[in-house]
Every structure is written in structure tokens, then in C-alpha cells.
Amino acid sequence: MAKGSAAAGDVEIDRDVCKLVHQFVQRLDAHVRRVADELGMTASQVVALRELSDPITARELAARMACEASNATFVLDRLEGQDLIERRPHPTDRRAKQIVLTPAGERARAGVLARLETHSPLAPLSGDQQESFRDLLQALLADR
């Protein structure tokens, strides 16, 4: 194969991959929004609860949610108002607070995770395929 045609093929593959990733992200976003609607929450609240697997700071949560810290703080204020989280002193950083799920927050998170798993956009893939997909995404997103 000539060098020029390989490059043209690479451009086409790149375009196809970008298009497919975009479509998949849209499908994931729609799924999160459906779950949020079912639970009477915002999509951001669903994502925050999904990411609150352990005590973390608002800044760490913002990074996990891929949003600004001020947006995460707004979501946390709403979750705190619903008694789903509490802010506690950080054990090693006096300037920071740790976000911790309350018992009601633990139950809400379990419900969110169960609903996210139901009809997940990843469901058509086997467990091994999901692991491979995760590993490929991690390789693509790794700092180089």
C-alpha cells in the first residue's frame, strides 16, 4: 500500500473513531439523564453520587465529574440539603473538607448505581469486552 493511501486511511479511521466516541458519549449522557429523571435528581447529582465511592474533597469530586469546583460545590450544596452528604474536616488538610455520604446518601448511591447498570450502554459488551474497552480508554487518556 502506498504511503499516501495509508495516511488517508488513518484520517478516515480517526474520523470514524471520533464520530463513534461522540455517539457513545451522547448515549451515556442520555442514560444518565434518564436515570436522573427517574430519581427526581439532576444529571449532575447522579454523577456526583456515582463518583462518591469514598470520602473525597470537593476539588477531587470536581475532577472526577470533569467540571469546575464551583459547579461541584453547587451540586454538593443540593445533596447536603437533601441530607445525602455531609462535609467533615479533612484528616490531614485543615483547609479542606471531606465529602462523606450519610446513611441516606449510601442508599441513594446504591439506587443510582443499580439504575445506571440497568440498560447500561455498555450492556451489549461481555465483561471481558468491557474490561478491554476500559483498558483502551485508560491507555488513550494516560498522561504522556
- Burial of residue 8 (number of CB atoms within 10 Å: 0-12, 13-18, 19+): exposed
Mean pLDDT of 6-20: 85
pLDDT in tens, 31-82: 999 999 999 999 999 999 999 999 999 999 999 999 999 999 999 999 999 9
Q: What is the pLDDT of residue 13?
A: 92
Three-state DSSP at 53 gives coil
Q: Is residue 71 part of a domain?
A: yes
Q: Is residue 128 part of a domain?
A: no
Question: Looking at residue 49, which CATH number applies to its domain?
Answer: 1.10.10.10
Q: Is residue 91 part of a domain?
A: yes
Q: What is the pLDDT of residue 2?
A: 47
pLDDT in tens, 88-113: 999 999 898 999 999 999 999 999 99
Distances (CA, A) of 132 to 9, 10, 128, 143: 24, 22, 6, 19
Provide the number of structural domains found in the chain. 1
Nearest partner of 85 among 71, 69, 106, judged by Cα: 106
Q: Which residues pair with 101 in a beta bridge?
A: 85
Q: Is residue 140 part of a domain?
A: no
* Owning domain of residue 92: 3-120
- Residues contacting residue 31 through CB under 8 Å, at least 6 positions apart: 116, 119, 120, 121
Q: Is residue 42 part of a domain?
A: yes
